[in-house]
A and B are shown apart, each in its own frame.
Chain A
Amino acid sequence: SQTIHQWPATLVQPVGSPLSLECTVEGTSNPNLYWYRQAAGRGLQLLFYSVGIGQISSEVPQNLSASRPQDRQFILSSKKLLLSDSGFYLCAWSTGVGNTEAFFGQGTRLTVV
């Protein structure tokens, strides 16, 4: 069966520090991968998605970037965090075929102080 791992679960970082969140998927190949963010009191917003290694699409302009160095690995990064980057970050995957749903990781709670 397929599983998705996301870490760390919680993170407190000072303003201006770098960020790296990692997500890996097991049990499937060539998945679509996604990073969503849930800001306090708001819904989920798609940040990035990827349909293959090295292929990244950004949905909103921001202080973050994403990379996909391997088929089942998706990384969210920032060179310098802002207070507004605080939120709950969720990685997800889907098969990319038909009307299938996305499957989510457990999320990372990021607090920028």
Chain B
Amino acid sequence: GDSVTQMEGPVTLSEEAFLTINCTYTATGYPSLFWYVQYPGEGLQLLLKATKADDKGSNKGFEATYRKETTSFHLEKGSVQVSDSAVYFCALSDNTGFQKLVFGTGTRLLVSP
């Protein structure tokens, strides 16, 4: 079945450092790809998405490009802030019309001042 693999955390960075969180996927067909963020004690919020190969999703300084050839959707940000500390989930949707999401295990990001 479909699956998503994320890098293990926690990722610990100083403020203004560059962030990369790796995400690769296995899927039949052509999934849509998502990054969700979970702040402490809260539900998930959509951070960005891409629906086809070579699409770049971006939001709040975060970016991720849908790479079909490497089956990857790595999350990047050029300069992180303390407020970016959260758990980040990579996910795919199989586009069957049911929009069932398959999630990675999540990567905790800790940003220190």
Residues of A within 8 A of B (CB): 6, 32, 34, 36, 42-46, 49, 51, 57, 59, 90, 92, 94, 96-97, 99-107
Which of A101, A105, A106, A107 contacts B46, CB < 8 Å?
Answer: A101
Which of B32, B51, B98, B104 contacts A43, CB < 8 Å?
Answer: B104
Which A-chain residue is minimally distant from B101 (CB atoms)?
Answer: A102
Count B interface residues, CB 8 Å: 23
Chain B residues 60-108 with CB under 8 Å of chain A are 89, 93, 95, 97-106
Q: A-B pairs with CB below 8 Å: how many?
A: 61
Residues of B within 8 A of A (CB): 32, 34, 36, 42-46, 49, 51, 89, 93, 95, 97-106
- What are 13 residue pairs bridging A and B, where the CB atoms are less than 8 Å apart in the complex? A36-B103, A44-B101, A46-B101, A46-B102, A51-B98, A57-B98, A92-B101, A97-B97, A99-B93, A102-B93, A104-B36, A104-B45, A106-B42
A84 to B75, CA, bound (A): 32
Please tell me if the beta carbons of B103 and A107 are within 8 angstroms of each other in the complex.
Answer: no
- Select the residue from B36, B93, B98, B106 with max chain A CB neighbours within 10 A: B98
Which of B43, B45, B89, B97 contacts A96, CB < 8 Å?
Answer: B97
Please tell me if the beta carbons of A90 and B44 are within 8 angstroms of each other in the complex.
Answer: yes
Which B-chain residue is minimally distant from A32 (CB atoms)?
Answer: B99
Please tell me if the beta carbons of B104 and A101 are within 8 angstroms of each other in the complex.
Answer: no
Please tell me if the beta carbons of B46 and A46 are within 8 angstroms of each other in the complex.
Answer: no
Please tell me if the beta carbons of B46 and A43 are within 8 angstroms of each other in the complex.
Answer: no
Please tell me if the beta carbons of B106 and A43 are within 8 angstroms of each other in the complex.
Answer: yes
Q: A104-B43, A107-B43 are in contact. Are A42 and B99 (CB under 8 A)?
A: no
